[in-house]
Amino acid sequence: MIIPDSNSASGSYDIDNSLKLEHDNSERLLRNSPVGTTVSVTNATVSYWVKRTELGIGTMYTWKGVSTWQNAAITNPSGYSDVLYVAGGNETYYKLVTNRVFKDTSAWYHIFIAYDTTQSTASDRIKIYINGVQETSFAVENYPSQNRDLEFLAANGAWVFGWYETAASVAPCYLAEAYLFHDQTLAPTDFGEFDTDTGIWKPIEYTGSFSQYDWYYDFENSASLGADASGNGNNITYTYNITSADQATDTPTNNFCTLRPAYEPKASITLKEGATVWQNLGNSNSAFQPNTTAIGTFQLSAGKWYWECTWTNDGDRALIGIVASLADIRQTTDWQEYIWWDGYNGWIGSSLIATETNPPAFDSINTIGIALDCDNQRITFSKDGGWLEASGNMNGSSPSDWRWDWTSDSDFLGSVYSNGNVTPMVGVQSDANTVFPIANINFGGYAATIRTSGGNSDANGYGNFAYPVPSGFYALCTKNLAKYG
| Structural domains of the chain, ranges and CATH numbers in brackets | 18-248 (2.60.120.200), 259-484 (2.60.120.920)
pLDDT tens for the chain, residues 1 to 485: 565 444 455 668 999 999 999 888 888 888 888 888 888 999 999 999 999 998 877 656 666 665 667 777 777 777 778 888 888 888 889 999 999 999 999 999 999 999 999 999 999 999 999 999 999 999 999 999 999 998 888 887 888 877 655 555 678 899 999 999 999 999 999 999 999 988 999 999 999 999 999 999 999 999 999 999 999 999 998 888 899 999 999 999 999 999 998 876 666 678 899 999 988 776 655 545 656 788 999 989 899 999 999 988 765 667 889 987 766 555 554 556 778 887 766 777 776 555 555 667 777 788 999 999 999 888 999 999 999 888 888 899 999 887 666 665 655 656 666 677 889 999 887 665 566 778 899 999 998 877 766 889 999 999 999 999 999 999 999 999 999 98
Helix count (H) and strand count (E) of the chain?
2, 32
User: Side chain identity at 262, as an amino acid letter?
Assistant: A
Share of the chain above pLDDT 70, in %: 79
Which CA distances in Å does 478 have to 1, 110, 296, 324, 483?
Answer: 12, 17, 13, 20, 8
Which CA distances in Å does 261 have to 156, 321, 428, 461?
Answer: 42, 15, 12, 29
pLDDT attached to residue 5: 45
Query: In whole angstroms, what is the distance from residue 301 CA to residue 373 CA?
Result: 9
Any idea what the Cα angle at residue 164 is, between residues 160 and 169, rounded to 5°? 125
pLDDT attached to residue 167: 54
Residue 155: exposure state from Cβ atoms within 10 A (0-12, 13-18, ≥19): middle
Contact 485, 422 (CB under 8 A): no
User: Side chain identity at 317, as an amino acid letter?
Assistant: R
- In 3D, which of 344, 371, 367 has the Cα closest to residue 449? 367
pLDDT attached to residue 7: 45
Write phi, then psi, for 219 (nearest 5 degrees): 60, 30
pLDDT attached to residue 34: 87
Predicted confidence (pLDDT) per residue in 121-172, tens digit: 999 999 999 999 999 999 999 999 999 998 888 887 888 877 655 555 678 8
- Give the number of C-alpha atoms closer than 13 A to the C-alpha of residue 267, restricted to the C-beta side: 0
Cα first-last separation, the chain: 14
Contact 444, 411 (CB under 8 A): no
As a three-state string, the secondary structure of 195-229 is CCCCCCEEECCCCCCCCCCCEEECCCCCCCCCCCC
Query: In whole angstroms, what is the distance from residue 113 CA to residue 63 CA?
Result: 14
Strands (E), 33-101: 43-52, 61-64, 69-75, 83-88, 94-101
pLDDT attached to residue 303: 96
Predicted confidence (pLDDT) per residue in 451-461, tens digit: 766 889 999 99
Dihedral angle sign, alpha carbons of residues 103, 108, 111, 112: negative
